Amino acid sequence: MDFKTLMQTRYSVRNYQPEPLSEELLMEVLEAGRMAPTAVNKQPFVFVVVNTENKLKKISAAYPRDWFKTAPQVIVICGDHRAAWKRGNDGKDHTDIDVAIATDHITLRATELGMGTCWVCNFDAEQVSKALSLPDHIEPVVLLPIGRPKEAEIPSKKRKSLSDLVRFNEY
């Protein structure tokens, strides 16, 4: 699949088939996250795969939406602020940027392999941290449900026009 088709094909899946993915497929998408570029190659992230019924229930409690419970697995993408590069002149922490790039690599590879994902950032981070026994310096940033989509058709995307988003040389 060429990149343009991949971008057009990826969408936020909110209904999954119940069968979990094979470990081989999971490792394939996680490798895409590992290969993502990061500031000064610090890779300040950890991928926690949640795939047991008990842990999935605990994670679902932190984001109580019915559709979320259909995912057979969830990758919790966590940031490690202690490992992150911080810009010298103002100290800007690049953890969230690096996590976002890794997450996007995972979502695109999953799409290429026929799987679906959905970025979830509106969740109770403290609840997720507790459920996964995360150390204090590890922050859950994204819940990424992953599995085979139930939908037969790719929904249309709503996007701003390019002219609304692009400026040349000044605002």
DSSP string, 45-79: EEEEEE-SHHHHHHHHHHS--TGGGG-SEEEEEEE
- Whether 21 and 73 have beta carbons less than 8 Å apart is answered as yes
* Residue 166, domain member (yes or no): no
Global pTM reads 0.93
* Residue 159, domain member (yes or no): no
* Residue 55, domain member (yes or no): yes
d(CA 23, CA 27): 6
140: region left, alpha or beta (phi > 0 left; psi from -120 to 50 alpha): beta
- Render each residue's pLDDT in the chain as its tens digit; 171 residues: 899 999 999 999 999 999 999 999 999 999 999 999 999 999 999 999 999 999 999 999 999 999 999 999 999 999 999 999 999 999 999 999 999 999 999 999 999 999 999 999 999 999 999 999 999 999 999 999 999 999 777 888 888 999 999 999 999
* Residue 122, domain member (yes or no): yes
Q: Spell 113-132 as b/e; 16+ CB within 10 A means b.
A: eebbbbebeebebeebbebb
- What's the CATH code of the domain at 10? 3.40.109.10
Residue 107: which domain range?
Answer: 3-149
Residue 90: the pLDDT is 97
CA angle, 161 as apex, 152 and 110 as ends, to 5°? 35
* Residue 161, domain member (yes or no): no
Residues in the chain: 171
* Residue 160, domain member (yes or no): no
The 73-80 sheet, strands edge to edge: 45-50, 73-80, 138-147, 116-117
Residue 147: the pLDDT is 97
* Residue 165, domain member (yes or no): no
* Residue 162, domain member (yes or no): no
Residue 152: the pLDDT is 72
Structurally, how many domains does the chain consist of? Answer: 1
